Amino acid sequence: MDHALKIFTLYVEDDRYSVPTLFTAELRDDASAMAHASNLLGNADHYLSIEIWDGDRRVGKVDQQGD
């Protein structure tokens, strides 16, 4: 089993800013990245959505509406 960590890029839409904020996170897989983004979104009142990327591949998006 591969236990290597991958670097995911998170683009955060924040209602205080006009451009997305960029974060990176070292995580095991797509499911971990989605869970991490959901956790961030749930703990920050100003975050509207977070888009998750693995290199040039879009992993997914979480937002306040649950999309």
The domain containing residue 34 runs over which residues?
6-63
pLDDT of the residue at 31: 98
Say if 25 falls within a structural domain: yes
DSSP string, 27-61: ESSHHHHHHHHHHHHHT-TTEEEEEEEETTEEEEE
pLDDT of the residue at 65: 74
Q: For the chain, how many structural domains are there in total?
A: 1
Q: How many CB atoms lie within 10 A of CB 47?
A: 20
Say if 22 falls within a structural domain: yes
For residues 15 and 27, give the distance between their C-alpha atoms in angstroms, rounded to a whole number: 26
Say if 46 falls within a structural domain: yes
pLDDT of the residue at 66: 59
| pLDDT digit string, tens, across residues 12-61 | 999 999 999 999 999 999 999 999 999 999 999 999 999 999 999 999 99
Q: Return the bridge partners of 23, or none.
A: 10
Say if 1 falls within a structural domain: no
